[in-house]
Structure 1
Amino acid sequence: MNIPEMYAYLVRARRVLRVSLQAVSDEVLARPLLGGERFHCIKDLLLHIAVVEDGWVNGDIRRAETVLDTWPDLKTRADGPQQALTPLTTLLEYWDAVEARTLTYLGGLTPAELSRVVTVEDWPPQHQRFTVDGVLWHVLQHEIRHTAQIAVLLRLQGITPPTLDLLFYLPSVPLSPQEPAHDLS
Structure 2
Amino acid sequence: MVNSAVLSDTELTALLKEGDLQAFTNIYNRYWPPLFLHVRRMLSDDDQAQDVLQDMFGWLWQHKSELHFSSSLAAYLYTATRNRVFNRIKHEKVKTNRLEDIRLFMQKGSYEADEALRYKQLAAIVKSEVEKMPEKMRQIFELSRNQYMSHKEIAEMLNISEHTVRTQVQRALKILRNKLGVSHAVLLTIIAMMD
TM-score, normalised to structure 2, is 0.24
Question: Radius of gyration: which is bigger?
Answer: 2
Which structure shows the higher helix fraction? 2
The structure, 1 or 2, with the larger RCO (C-alpha pairs under 8 Å, 6+ apart) is 1
